[in-house]
Amino acid sequence: MEQKFPEAFAEFTEVCKTLENHYRDMQDMEFTVEHGKLFMLQTRNGKRTAQAALQIACDLVDEGMRTPEEAVAMIDPRNLDTLLHPQFDAKALKASEPMGKGLGASPGAACGKVVFTADDAVAWNDKGEKVVLVRLETSPEDITGMKAAQGILTVRGGMTSHAAVVARGMGTCCVSGCGDINMDEENKRFTLAGKEFHEGDYISIDGSTGNIYDGIIPTVDATIAGTFGRIMGWADEFRTLKVRTNADTPADAKKARELGAEGIGLCRTEHMFFEEDRIAAFREMICSDTVEEREAALDKILPYQQNDFEALYEALEGCPVTIRFLDPPLHEFVPTEEEDIKKLADAQGKSVEDIKAIIASLHEFNPMMGHRGLRLAVTYPEIAKMQTKAVIRAAINVQKAHADWTVAPEIMIPLSCDTKELKYVKDMVVATADAEIAAAGIEMKYEVGTMIEIPRAALTADEIAKEAEFFCFGTNDLTQMTYGFSRDDAGKFLDAYYDAKIFENDPFAKLDQTGVGQLMKMAVANGKATRPELHCGICGEHGGDPSSVEFCHEIGLDYVSCSPFRVPIARLAAAQAAINSK
């Protein structure tokens, strides 16, 4: 152009400078040249990849066109996901057609051989094979296999199903709720798009789009450019909302710390029970006939729990750690395989029929609203006492080893709905904790709070705050109970709601500010009216959603907590919320 139309080219370069200086952003301009005359047709802010967005923002600051505050406000936090997870090779992906689609439940890309059980995932992984774990749905019992897999694919479940939440926490690719899969778990095979897949066959899944592909699509590792740290540094200057992480292992906690987490807002202790060396003892506890037998079984688990908590405190280097006591119903821990049932029967001195009868007695029609959370502590106080001992003993040991740290455990009692039940469990926790601290001969502060995940707890927050020293909103369950939707089953009908324009988005992925949000707003205001020093946070999956983070800033929460790989998203969203509020 410069050679053919030198005058038009010179004019064009000047117009480009004028437009970029005016809009103070990279422009996508359309133009034409007719008979040597330049005509500008259109301009708009140019589309960009996440990595380019960071680079452009930094360049604009360096050129004096934008302030750091404006640069932070320019970037879409959701796009940061692509910087933190492996992606499919662009050329290979373009040449591939998806054979099915589920929900993009945890971002990233994965390919590997199909396996159908957690044990098989571990066994194949130990042989050096990359695997994709395919299940009807996952449960806490599958945690070891989920860790071993490159990716997770489920037939059932939504964006906040067990598979989705755990996968996001581990940074593992996950596609959930692909109802088109016809699963035959017993024979280790499934059918999708007319093709039958067996153990060892290759598939590829995209946790961002939910697409499922036959065969192998090569992946490329994520790369974080130097501009990432610079933008995050600016974001931290502007935000007032703290950002913690949901982490159950030292590895997750360390990764979250690397990505800027300022503490743990949720440690799910039940995930610690499923390791091979402790699940047997926990099953003994469930099948015990007396309190003494239960306490003997729990005594076997206590050292493991204590070591787990010590490792978490070490990883967080004195930052706050909130530990949620046992939450799921007990049926999730009992064996399902005949061989495991027999092993448990032999260990207990019971018959296989006796164990099967106990397992059958634990069945509930609606376990998510059944015998779980602090209801377990009311029924079996010895569980809460054991966990309290583990939390406090771990904190004492780490505090002694690091005198310059302040280790102040935050014990979170889940699923409370009444101040009397909370007081009953809290009194037991406090008595146990105080006895441990007195026996150690040191001074240590700790807090006992609760998870607000039942609407009644939000509505009676002024009463709940008399016993709770902090609130943490478990918005996965709070959304479930407010809507009356099962978060694992809602995916079956939500598409029809979107098509009918009843809903615009999934309430489990983006916080419902009109209903659930108003319960939260009310709970914060009423809770702080009773206890002005009450600190409040959110640890549901909404803690990593940008629009939800902005709402949390508006209602005065102290922190948001999200899975490790969503920490940068929350940091940037919190900064933008503070900037917008001005």
Catalytic residues: 162, 539
Q: Give ∠ CA 256-258-261 in degrees, rounded to 5.
A: 45
Q: How far is it, in rounded angstroms, from Cα 160 to Cα 563? A: 12
For residue 4, count other CB atoms closer than 10 A to its CB. 9
HEC profile of 340-409: HHHHHHHHHCCCHHHHHHHHHHCCCCCHHHCCCCHHHHHHCHHHHHHHHHHHHHHHHHHHHHCCCCCCCC
- CA 350 distance to own-chain centroid: 39
Q: Which two structure tokens, joined as six digits, stand for 49? A: 């990849």
Q: How far is it, in rounded angstroms, from Cα 472 to Cα 451? A: 5
The single residue listed with the structure tokens 């490329």 is: 220
Per DSSP, the residues of 509-563 read TS--TTTHHHHHHHHHHHHHHH-TT-EEEE-SGGGG-HHHHHHHHHTT-SEEEE-
Q: Which two structure tokens, joined as six digits, stand for 512? A: 């419902």
- Cα–Cα separations (whole angstroms), residue 435 to 64, 392, 440: 61, 10, 9
Helical packing angle, 291-316 and 250-258, nearest 10°: 30
Q: Please, are residues 534 and 471 in contact by the beta-carbon 8 Å criterion?
A: yes
Q: Which residues pair with 264 in a beta bridge?
A: 245, 321
Rg (CA), the chain: 26
- Cα–Cα separations (whole angstroms), residue 547 to 241, 477, 524: 14, 19, 19
All residues at 6 or more sequence positions from 71 whose CB lies less than 8 Å from its CB, including other chains: 57, 58, 60, 61, 231, 234
**b/e map of 49-75 (b: 16 or more CB within 10 Å)?**
ebbebbbbbbebbeeeebebbebbbbb
Q: Which two structure tokens, joined as six digits, stand for 317? A: 């280097």
Per DSSP, the residues of 419-471 read HHHHHHHHHHHHHHHHHHHHHHT-----EEEEEE-SHHHHHTHHHHTTT-SEE
For residue 378, give the nearest of 325, 335, 302 by alpha carbon.
Answer: 325
Q: How far is it, in rounded angstroms, from Cα 66 to Cα 61? A: 5
